[in-house]
Structure 1
Amino acid sequence: MSMVQVTFVDVNGVERCVTGEGDLSLMELAKANGVDGIAADCGGACSCATCLVHVDPAWTDRTGTPDDIEFAMLDMVSDVATDSSRLACQIRLSTMLDGLRVVVAQQ
């Protein structure tokens, strides 16, 4: 499996580049690397919003848009969600996302 590099800006404003296998979710990569602000309470089942990130606008075409279930979860946190918000558990890494940059949402 190919490796993918992602830059996370955590809840403290610390920018960190991490690398992981392309078959992980963005949330799994964040948890494996101890990124502050990614609690992932539901373990990736898209039933909470504790892995909320804001995708850099340059990457939104490649990360895609939320499906109906993810959109419903984002609607529940509309006070912190933006047009570029996604749940990290719903973004699957691939070589197409090598270099992705996301900001972890303050919750």
Structure 2
Amino acid sequence: MAKITYIEHGGKEHVVEVANGMTVMEGARDNGIPGIEADCGGACACSTCHVYVAEDWSEKLPAKDAMEEDMLDFAYKPDPARSRLTCQLTVSDALDGLVVQMPEKQI
């Protein structure tokens, strides 16, 4: 189980525990956190679960695969270093303390 902090674009923080094996997107969805739409349900076929990871987490996460890189091209104001799709981040104890911030909007 990992404690993850989701920060809405306006600054409101939500700290929730997410079970290992779930994705960061599922943690947001299951806890009613606004700002992550996940239109494709986690199939990496859209960019509506886009977030900016905290700078100190950028290097700690697994590398983006080609499909995630392609989908991030469609995200709102992607940041090459910090943008991730939450459907592609599987929760483990190693993600305990992860902080993600939602963009102004999802497209």
Task: Tell me which residue corresponds to 2:82.
Answer: 84
Structure showing the higher helix proportion among its residues = 1
Is the 8 Å Cα contact of residues 59 and 100 (structure 1) preserved in structure 2? yes
Does the CA-based 8 Å contact 1:11-1:36 persist in structure 2?
Answer: no
CA–CA separation in structure 1 for the residues paired with 2:14 and 2:7: 6
AA partner of residue 25 (structure 1)? T
Name the counterpart of 2:16.
18
Counterpart of 1:67 in structure 2 is: 65
Give the AA of the match of 1:80: K
User: Given the two structures, how large is their TM-score scaled by the length of structure 1?
Assistant: 0.91
The aligned length equals: 104
Where does structure 1 differ by over 2 angstroms across 4 or more consecutive aligned residues?
none
CA contact (8 A) 2:7 2:102 kept: yes
- Counterpart Cα distance in 1 of 2:3 and 2:67: 27
Give the superposition deviation at 1:57: 1.1
Consecutive unaligned residues in structure 1, runs of 5 or more: none
- Say which of 36, 39, 48 aligns to 2:37: 39
RMSD over aligned CA atoms reads 1.1
